[in-house]
């Protein structure tokens, strides 16, 4: 069985990846900055920091694959770009292990700094000389849930006009990444989106209704290139929809009082 290191194995996606790999029988280690990170049963934690490189050599030692899920959108140059390069260097020094990574649909078309960092990380992986697999996906249910929660807290709910979103089941993404470990290096996989595409305004209206909030909602035309790319659907892959839970199924499973999970 492949011995797998999961960076970001404490995060929204990473902990599901750890679970999926453990279910497949792989020995799994989680790379985290915190030794007290919440343990996923059956997985050890190895302490390392991508932003400094501390602990990376020890973290990759003995692994035959790495599933790279760590990210920090607020510090993406240091973590997603330089951190990925540090991880690749440690992995090259350790041998020819398989680097499996995840990115976001549209990172090459939506000009925001986090997406530029994700694209730079993709490029570093592709030219690393290591065997690799990369999957771009649309936004996870829990991320969309957080976003809606923030939007409906505004006294007047402003929604960017023309934006759509294709929420995906994070367990489905985790399963694809675990399968990629088993199948071996495949380069860039076809982009993957959730089973449905929604106008953001529709999801906001639904959230207001479900939570009984009576707030005015105004659709505003946001200027700028990122907004234009989103209006053009650069974040969507309607022709490549995954299985897994639908948005409604996600909502049905989620208790309204609990934090979003998936």
Ligand X SMILES: NC(=O)c1ccc[n+]([C@@H]2O[C@H](COP(=O)([O-])OP(=O)(O)OC[C@H]3O[C@@H](n4cnc5c(N)ncnc54)[C@H](OP(=O)(O)O)[C@@H]3O)[C@@H](O)[C@H]2O)c1
Query: Which residue number, 37 or 204, has a Cβ lying nearer to ligand X?
Result: 37
| Alpha-carbon span 242 to 123, nearest angstrom | 25
Considering the rule CB under 6 A, would residue 91 count as an interface residue with ligand X?
no
Q: What is the pattern of x (binds ligand X, CB under 6 A) and - over residues 223-252?
A: ------------------------------
Please select the residue that binds ligand X; options are 11, 106, 194, 244, rule is CB under 6 A: 11
**In a 3-state reduction of DSSP, which class is residue 141?**
helix
Least distance in angstroms from the C-beta of 72 to ligand X: 4
Please select the residue that binds ligand X; options are 4, 10, 46, 226, rule is CB under 6 A: 10
Please select the residue that binds ligand X; options are 21, 32, 66, 235, rule is CB under 6 A: 32
CB-CB contact of 175 with 218 (8 Å): no
Q: Which of 58, 60, 51 is nearest to 88 (CA)?
A: 60
Q: What does DSSP assign to residue 256? A: T
Helix-then-strand count for the chain, H and E: 10, 11
Considering the rule CB under 6 A, would residue 49 count as an interface residue with ligand X?
yes
Considering the rule CB under 6 A, would residue 72 count as an interface residue with ligand X?
yes
> Between β-strands 164-165 and 198-199, what pairing exists: parallel, antiparallel or unpaired?
antiparallel
Query: Which residue number, 100 or 152, has a Cβ lying nearer to ligand X?
Result: 100
CB-CB contact of 47 with 5 (8 Å): no
At 91, which helix (H) or strand (E)?
A: helix 83-94
Q: How many residues bind ligand X (CB under 6 A)?
A: 27
Maximum Cα–Cα distance across the chain: 58
Least distance in angstroms from the C-beta of 114 to ligand X: 8
Report the residue number whose CB is nearest to ligand X. Answer: 11
Q: Which residues bind ligand X (CB under 6 A)?
A: 7-8, 10-14, 32-34, 37, 49-51, 69-72, 79, 83, 102, 104, 118, 137, 139-140, 143
């Amino acid at each position: 069985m492949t011995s797998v290191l999961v960076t970001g194995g404490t995060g929204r996606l990473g902990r599901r990846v750890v679970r999926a790999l453990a279910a497949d029988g792989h020995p799994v280690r989680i790379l985290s900055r915190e030794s007290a990170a919440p343990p996923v049963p059956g997985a050890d934690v190895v302490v390392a920091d991508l932003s400094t490189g501390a602990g990376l050599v020890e973290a990759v030692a003995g692994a035959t694959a790495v599933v790279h899920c760590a990210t920090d959108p607020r510090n993406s140059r240091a973590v997603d770009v330089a951190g990925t390069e540090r991880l690749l260097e440690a992995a090259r020094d350790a041998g020819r292990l398989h680097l499996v990574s995840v990115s976001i649909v549209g990172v090459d078309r939506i000009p925001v700094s986090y997406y530029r960092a994700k694209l730079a990380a993709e490029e570093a992986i592709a030219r690393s000389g290591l065997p690799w697999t990369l999957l771009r996906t649309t936004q996870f249910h829990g991320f969309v849930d957080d976003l809606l929660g923030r939007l409906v807290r505004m006294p007047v709910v402003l929604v960017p006009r023309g934006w759509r979103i294709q929420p995906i089941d994070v367990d489905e993404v985790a399963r694809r990444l675990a399968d990629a470990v088993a199948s071996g290096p495949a380069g860039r996989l076809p982009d993957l989106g959730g089973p449905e595409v929604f106008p953001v305004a529709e999801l906001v209206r639904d959230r207001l209704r479900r939570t009984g909030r009576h707030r005015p909602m105004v659709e505003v035309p946001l200027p700028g290139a990122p907004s234009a790319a989103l209006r053009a659907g650069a974040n969507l892959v309607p022709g490549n929809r995954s299985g897994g839970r639908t948005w409604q199924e996600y909502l049905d499973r989620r208790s309204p009082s609990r934090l979003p999970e998936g």
